[in-house]
RNA sequence: GGGCUCUUAGCUCAGUUGGUUAGAGCGCAUCGUUGACAUCGAUGAGGUCACUGGUUCGAAUCCAGUAGAGCCCACCA
């Protein structure tokens, strides 16, 4: 049995003193570099990311599990990782705070071809040739390379703040996973789902390996379409003078033709079917056959059949029992079957053959033609369809199960349209060629008997994890990289061992990935999970958009348009990068990324930092700078001031909305909601209103409430911006060691501490303040100059409400005097603004230009009238009043009334101006 | 050849089941250095939601079509 991975069982939360936060920041700007590293070290060493099977199995905690898409061992962190990791970490931290036993499993993929190429190139620089040193020595080099560079990307992920449980870290080539891979191969073979087949494969002549369909890109390229004469011959082999014209884009494969095909219903050729033609460039004659696959309207209506080098032709060949000639070597040169062209590279051969055809008078014409060319997505080499024996997985039985779990809703895709893509692929799936002609990878567990001469018996192989014993040699090939990564969600937990980790954390919760590996990986993981464990690997799949450059192009080395996330972290801070990516992560559209966008995140982090200083500097501290006093609110909700009741109400609503949005993977929305609350509500209004006047210390009650709300702000923002929030967390009040923000609970404001009426009143205050500021701006009243204002309230009750908020309005609008009354005498030479049920007069003796004010009022009145007209038209519409819901109609009526009152007030003021 | 997505302010994009006078960030304009923050504050300008038609009392939102942009599948040699 494979080794069960060693996962420590004790939660090891640090009890040492946590790092010292900067207690009384003196600079005006937040410096992320100083705080990020120390907190990450504290979190990791303190075991704050640890997830324990026992907590689930015995503690009754609900698990939340995300398998990290393992980055390639050759990889460096790029923006795609940064985006996906941000989402994953956000979810993991959020769920962890919500009380889930949250596990994010990290690891690395061995990335067969990519790694082999990298190491091969490195060796070549030192003059070492892979083939010369042999398999064993080469693999030693690869392992050495892996040991040296293999975990760079995981270190980089730490910079981003990834809260993985690193104790679970795995590598797709480690012992446990290797064992799992081999067993899966054997199991599938025993189930009849792995087989060896001799078919046309996608051959990459550069890397000299087969690749799967998914690894091939079809690229349109300018090329040529040549029309070639194939002379018809009689039974004796003499040319009859007739000929069939054939259009082809691949004249270099002519020597491998084994038939010429026409459509059975094509009357132009009916008489010729059954006769033979002479294949140009070779003396061979081949039959003219009839097959449905031929398109009558393409070229001259006749097709050369080359079963050894074309998939369609291969199928035709099977139907007509044609010979399959393979004229190409594995390196893309032609072999001896190509006669005179043997030894030439395929491109060279093409040119030569065209020239020779022309000389022989067999070339009818050459046309420009756009050729769809298969390209290896990795090496960019033109793929050659070649006949080659390979190992395959029969996919249909696996696909059926994987389809069922999406159809029945066990797995949900976000956004849902990806489920359709997924279905489309699975419903029309082809068998998966899994063998690769590489050295770096999982060796195929197939053993061939060898005789004394060393001859391998290809027929009587044994499929087994371990060698059957003396006299057997193992298959030289390795398995496709994806054949190990499709086991990732459970192999990382110790499968096929029945470990506690597996019991506790399988099935997982969410997979976050880009759509680029939907087929490669996501779909196959679901197949593997449902097939081998009878359970889905996760219930939710969140598909992110792909990161493009500013102009919408893919980021690539050749274009040099990549943005290095580490540079961005250095420049703006990890929190800024994370927050910005969170904002941009809306509903799976691709993201055009301009590095300047990170400024927004940086500014937000800075804003939070500075906000804490408004009240944070009044917190008493010891010599080490730690807060010594635990300020707690003593007043009940009802005793709080208006602004405080409003703030708590907004906090409650915001937390609720953010929680809901995160739960539904609406990351961008959650980010915006939190931002608005922190910046607009907390900073712009609450802090401005509650700030102590110059030279005064705010009351303890004010400090207590500010601390309380800010603490929840930090919790709310922590999944987005873990570093700055953790740093500030320790500056608010004395905390026990280990009482870190990362381990705190997701905020849950008391629904009883909300007050819709207070919120309404405060909104009126905001409107009044804004209105007065508008007047000040309109008339360029400098902030240093105090003005008076008069608020005429509609009735005594609203007047009283505004009276209660008098101080706010005075302070925020810069008023020297505020008169409030239900029935005010309007001062002369004043600007008038209507705010809901209130009219605000701002006396501007000497500052006001009556003409300008008249114009402004008229414009305002016209606007309101236009609006009113629209509303009244709606209300006069019998159909609207009778068919629209009552609430909607009532709302419209209210709008009309408000507009009328506002117009009346404004008109009165206009009249007063004379 | 099939399928999917996108088109909303100068730019980049939000807009959940159809009901706001259509929003944000950046940019732009005007004003602002007394103790959180100029990585800031206040105020403002800026949109017939690609186009056409339909459904509906009501459409940026639903349906059909048109035009652009992009992506994914597919054996037209």
pLDDT in tens, A233-274: 888 878 788 888 898 999 999 998 988 988 888 888 888 888
Q: Which residues contact A52 (CB under 8 A, 6 or more apart)?
A: A9, A10, A11, A59, A101, A504
A486, A528 contact by CB (below 8 A):
yes
Instruction: Please choose, from the candidates A153, A190, A182, the residue with its C-alpha nearest in 3D space to the C-alpha of residue A169.
Output: A153
Among chain A residues 410-429, those with CB within 7 Å of any atom of strand B: 417, 420-421, 424-425, 428
Q: Which helix (H) or strand (E) holds A184?
A: helix A175-190
Protein residue nearest nucleotide B37, by CA to C1': A610
Rounded CA-CA distance A791/A765 in Å is 11
Q: Which residues contact A657 (CB under 8 A, 6 or more apart)?
A: A670, A673
* CA end-to-end distance (rounded Å), chain A: 98
ipTM of the complex: 0.96
Strands A239-248 vs A216-233: parallel, antiparallel or unpaired: antiparallel
What's the whole-model pTM score?
0.92
Q: Within 13 Å of residue A159, how many CA atoms lie on the same side as its CB?
A: 22
Rounded CA-CA distance A700/A618 in Å is 9
- What phi and psi, each to the nearest 5 degrees, are found at residue A868? -60, -40
Q: Which nucleotide is nearest to A668 (CA to C1')?
A: B14
Is strand B less than 7 A from the beta carbon of A782? yes
A194, A382 contact by CB (below 8 A):
no
DSSP string, A294-328: S-TTSTTSEEEE-TTT-HHHHHHHHHHT------B
Q: Which residues contact A663 (CB under 8 A, 6 or more apart)?
A: none
Q: Which nucleotides of B are covered by protein (CB under 7 A)?
A: 3-6, 12-15, 19, 21, 24-26, 30-32, 34-44, 56-58, 72-77
DSSP designation for A519: I
A798 CA vs B40 C1’ separation (Å)? 34
Q: Which two tokens stand for residue A380?
A: 């960019």
Q: Which helix (H) or strand (E) holds A219?
A: strand A216-233
A168, A103 contact by CB (below 8 A):
yes
Rounded CA-CA distance A401/A531 in Å is 7
Q: Which nucleotide is nearest to A550 (CA to C1')?
A: B12
Low-confidence ranges of chain A (pLDDT < 70): 1-27, 794, 914
Is strand B less than 7 A from the beta carbon of A224? no
Q: Which two tokens stand for residue A364?
A: 């009818």
State yes or no: cis peptide before A213, omega within 30 of 0.
no
Angle CA A544–A545–A551, to nearest 5: 155
Rounded CA-CA distance A510/A94 in Å is 13
Among chain A residues 308-347, those with CB within 7 Å of any atom of strand B: 310-312
Among chain A residues 238-277, those with CB within 7 Å of any atom of strand B: 246-250
Rounded CA-CA distance A354/A703 in Å is 87
Is strand B less than 7 A from the beta carbon of A581? no
């Amino acid at each position: 049995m494979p080794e069960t991975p060693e996962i420590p069982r004790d939660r090891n939360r640090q009890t040492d003193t946590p790092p010292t936060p900067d207690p009384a920041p003196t600079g005006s700007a937040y410096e992320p570099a100083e705080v990020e590293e120390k907190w990450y070290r504290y979190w990791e060493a303190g075991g704050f990311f640890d997830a324990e099977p026992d907590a689930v199995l015995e503690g009754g905690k609900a698990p939340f599990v995300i398998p990290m898409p393992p980055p390639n061992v050759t990889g460096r962190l790029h923006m795609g990782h940064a985006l996906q990791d941000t989402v994953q970490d956000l979810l993991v931290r959020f769920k962890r705070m919500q009380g889930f036993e949250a596990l994010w499993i990290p690891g690395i993929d061995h990335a067969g071809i990519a790694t082999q190429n990298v190491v091969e190139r490195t060796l070549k620089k030192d003059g070492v040739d892979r083939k010369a040193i042999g398999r064993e020595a080469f693999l030693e080099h690869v392992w050495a390379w892996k040991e040296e560079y293999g975990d760079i990307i995981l270190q980089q992920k730490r910079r981003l703040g990834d809260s993985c449980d690193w104790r679970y870290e795995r590598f797709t080539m480690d012992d446990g996973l290797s064992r799992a891979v081999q067993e899966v191969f054997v199991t599938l073979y025993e189930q009849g789902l792995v087989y060896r087949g001799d078919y046309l494969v996608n051959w990459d002549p550069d890397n000299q390996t087969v690749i799967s369909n998914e690894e091939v890109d079809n690229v349109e390229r300018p090329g040529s379409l040549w029309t070639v004469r194939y002379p018809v011959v009689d039974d004796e082999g003499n040319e009859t003078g007739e000929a069939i014209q054939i259009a082809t884009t691949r004249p270099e494969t002519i020597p491998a033709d084994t038939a010429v095909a026409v459509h059975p219903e094509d009357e132009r050729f009916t008489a010729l079917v059954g006769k033979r033609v002479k294949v140009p460039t070779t003396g061979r004659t081949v039959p003219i056959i009839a097959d449905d696959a031929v398109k009558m309207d393409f070229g001259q209506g006749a097709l050369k059949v080359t079963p050894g080098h074309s998939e369609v032709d291969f199928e035709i060949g099977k139907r007509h029992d044609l010979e399959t000639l393979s004229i190409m070597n594995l390196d893309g040169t032609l072999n001896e079957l190509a006669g005179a062209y043997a030894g030439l590279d395929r491109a060279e051969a093409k040119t030569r053959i065209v020239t020779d055809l022309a000389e022989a008078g067999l070339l009818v014409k050459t046309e420009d033609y756009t050729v769809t060319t298969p390209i290896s997505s990795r090496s960019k080499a033109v793929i050659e369809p070649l006949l080659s024996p390979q190992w395959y997985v029969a996919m249909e039985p696996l696909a059926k199960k994987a389809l069922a779990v999406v159809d029945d809703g066990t797995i949900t895709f976000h956004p849902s349209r990806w489920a359709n893509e997924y279905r489309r692929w699975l419903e029309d799936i082809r068998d998966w060629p899994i063998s690769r002609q590489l050295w770096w990878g999982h060796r195929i567990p197939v053993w061939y008997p060898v005789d004394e001469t060393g001859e391998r018996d290809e027929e009587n192989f044994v499929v087994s994890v371990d060698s059957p014993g003396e006299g057997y040699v193992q298959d030289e090939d390795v398995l496709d990289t994806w054949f190990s990564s499709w086991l990732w969600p459970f192999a990382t937990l110790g499968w096929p061992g029945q470990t506690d980790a597996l019991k506790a954390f399988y099935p997982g919760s969410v997979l976050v990935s880009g759509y680029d590996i939907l087929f490669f990986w996501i779909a196959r993981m679901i197949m593997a999970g449902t097939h081998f464990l009878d359970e889905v690997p996760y219930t939710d799949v969140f598909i992110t958009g792909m990161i493009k450059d500013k102009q919408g192009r893919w980021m690539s080395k050749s274009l040099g348009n990549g943005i290095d996330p580490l540079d961005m972290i250095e420049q703006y801070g990890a929190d800024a990068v994370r927050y910005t990516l969170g904002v941009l992560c809306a509903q799976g559209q691709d993201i055009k990324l301009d590095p300047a966008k990170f400024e927004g995140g940086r500014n937000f982090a800075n804003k939070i930092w500075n906000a804490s200083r408004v009240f944070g500097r009044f917190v008493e501290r010891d010599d080490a700078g730690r807060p010594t006093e635990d300020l707690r609110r003593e007043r009940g909700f009802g005793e709080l001031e208006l602004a405080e009741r409003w703030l708590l109400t907004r906090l409650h609503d915001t937390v609720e909305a953010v929680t809901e949005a995160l739960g539904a993977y609406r990351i961008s929305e959650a980010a915006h909601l939190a931002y608005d609350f922190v910046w607009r509500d907390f900073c712009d209004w609450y802090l401005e209103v509650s700030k102590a006047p110059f030279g005064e210390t705010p009351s303890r009650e004010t400090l207590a409430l500010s601390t309380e709300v800010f603490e929840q702000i930090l919790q709310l923002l922590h999944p987005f911006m873990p570093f700055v929030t953790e740093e500030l967390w320790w500056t608010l009040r004395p905390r026990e060691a280990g009482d870190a923000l990362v381990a705190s609970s997701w905020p849950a404001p008391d629904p009883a501490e909300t007050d819709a009426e207070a919120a309404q009143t405060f909104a009126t205050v905001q409107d009044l303040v804004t209105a007065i500021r508008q007047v000040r701006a309109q008339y360029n009243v400098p902030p240093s100059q105090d003005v008076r204002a008069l608020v005429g309230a509609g009735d005594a009750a609203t007047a009283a409400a505004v009276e209660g908020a008098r101080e706010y309005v005075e302070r925020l609008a810069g008023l020297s005097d505020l008169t409030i009354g239900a029935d005010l005498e309007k001062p002369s030479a004043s600007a008038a603004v209507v705010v809901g049920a209130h009219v605000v007069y701002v006396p501007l003796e000497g500052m006001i230009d009556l003409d300008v004010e008249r114009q402004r009022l008229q414009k305002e009145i016209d606007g309101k009238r236009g609006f009113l007209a629209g509303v009244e038209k709606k209300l006069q519409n019998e159909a609207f009043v009778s068919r629209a819901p009552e609430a909607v109609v009532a709302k419209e009526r209210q709008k009309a009334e408000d507009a009328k009152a506002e117009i009346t007030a404004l008109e009165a003021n206009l009249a007063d101006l004379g």
